[in-house]
Amino acid sequence: MRDDPEVIAMVTAARDGDVQAWNRLVDRYAPLVWSICKGYRLSPSDAEDVGQNVWLRLVEQLPRIRVPAALAGWLMTTTRRECLRVLRVTQRVTPADTVAERADEVTVQHDIDEAILAYERKVALREAFAQLSPRCQHMLSLLMQDPPVPYGVISVRLGMPQGSVGPIRARCLERLRNCPALVALIEAGADNTGGGGTGDR
């Protein structure tokens, strides 16, 4: 996992009793916990129970988390264990059905990995977008609409020649790609898929 100074600061502050930092942590990682519950196909009530247990465990374990930047991994592992516990309690997974359970876990793990990657991309993109100038943010917001706003409309709204929209768009996208949050995520992805070793996860 990439070292995110914001996460490190939030974990450290929450560990020291900062309620606002704790709330920011929950807001940031609740979608991750929920996506894992969804991967295990839990009912909304079961997913809510899992979420409550995960946050309670985090309250207990927060002082013991030695590497704050690894929080997402800790949450992923804890949520998976809680999901399996709920499934066993509700007898939707029986101990005798080990082959089916392992097959299900492989499928679920794939879904979870995809969800985590999507979540990391969303967080990194949001951080990078926030670092752009207001004009770049406005332009890219217009271009990301469905359907995209035509260049002629953008030129009027932003008060620039229509011929300047394309070049400025390219510069804004380049700045977005070079933001540290996205660079770190891209490099982490390259490290994970760059080959070498046994190919294990």
> CA 185 → CA 1, 123, 127, 155, distances in Å?
9, 10, 11, 32
- Supply 172's token pair: 């804004």
Q: Which CATH topology does 5-123 take?
A: Rna Polymerase Sigma Factor; Chain: A (1.10.1740)
**CA atoms of 39 and 190, how far apart (whole Å):** 25
**CA atoms of 103 and 85, how far apart (whole Å):** 17
Residues in the chain: 201
pLDDT value at residue 181: 66
pLDDT of 87-126, one tens digit each? Answer: 888 765 444 444 445 545 555 555 556 666 666 677 777 7
Four-point Cα dihedral 35, 30, 60, 79, nearest 10? 0
> CA 197 → CA 56, 122, 187, 192, 194, distances in Å?
37, 29, 18, 11, 10
pLDDT value at residue 31: 87
Segment 175-191 shows an average pLDDT of 67
At residue 200, does pLDDT exceed 50?
Answer: no
Say which residues have a Cβ less than 8 Å from residue 61's Cβ, sequence separation at least 6. Answer: 74
Considering only 23-27, 84-88, 119-123, which range has the smallest mean pLDDT?
A: 119-123
Name the percent of the chain lying above pLDDT 90: 10
Considering only 99-103, 180-184, 185-189, which range has the smallest mean pLDDT?
A: 99-103
